[in-house]
Structure 1
Amino acid sequence: MNVFKKLRNDYVIWHANRVKFPNFRPSIIVRKKVVFSGKVQKVGFRLEIYSIAQRMKLTGWVKNLKDGSVEAELQGEEVKIDFLVNCMRSLKRASVKNMTIIDLPIREAEESFTIVK
């Protein structure tokens, strides 16, 4: 890994760990597919989603798409998913121009959140 990428990743993890969570009210468990487009690749976007999702105990995955967008499937309490999506939309080092959100069926056996290469 080159030096710039390591520095960026260290910064992204530091930033994601500083995000303050509100006191979430319990809400229903849902699964959503979210596609973020704009300047969302090469800025640590996937790593930020991964880090925050893990802190909130969400399951699912995130990956880059060939068209330059980032796709994620997020499963967990709806208020936590909404919070994460809003965090990513307001991220300063990225520029989310458009978002598509689709409700999906829950995957019962899923236990973790991963970055898909």
Structure 2
Amino acid sequence: MQLLDFPSSPVVRKKVVFSGRVQNVGFRLEIYTIAERMKLKGRVKNLNDGSVEVEVQGEEQQISFLVHCMQSLKRASVKKVTMSDLPIHESEKDFTIVK
């Protein structure tokens, strides 16, 4: 996958919850792979209700790109995305998958 060059935008932290058929389809690993390539910070985990929650920190346009990639992932079926702002974690250094 070719990653785009993004114009610089402010660093933000977002909580994004993906609902639909997003567990047991490699969704968390896909988010992790894209986040690592774009040097985003944060974590991704499955929720008990079948959705996937991401806390992601980076430039706003990169986060939008990540969300768009996940909405168009063929092996999953994203029905709903909710996004909210979070305070930035200055100390966070990487992106992790929470088991």
Deviation at 1:21, TM superposition (A): 1.4
Aligned to 1:24: 6
Q: Which has the larger radius of gyration?
A: 1
Higher helix share: 1
SS at match of 1:88: helix
Count of residues in Structure 1 that have an aligned counterpart in Structure 2: 99
Q: Counterpart of 2:45?
A: 63
CA-CA distance at 1:23 after TM superposition: 1.4
Deviations 1:47-102 (A, max 9, x none): 00001100000000000001100000000111110000000001000000001000
- Choose between structure 1 and 2 for higher RCO, CA contacts under 8 A separated by at least 6 residues: 2
Tell me the amino acid that sits aligned with residue 41 of structure 1: Q
Tell whether 2:67 aligns with 1:85: yes
Could you say which residue in structure 2 is the equivalent of 1:94? 76
1:53 is aligned, of 26, 35, 56, to 35
1:15 paired residue number:
none
Runs of 4+ residues deviating >2 angstroms:
none
Identity %: 69
TM-score, normalised via structure 2 length: 0.98
TM-score (norm 1): 0.83
SS at match of 1:71: strand
Residue of structure 2 in register with 1:40 after alignment: 22
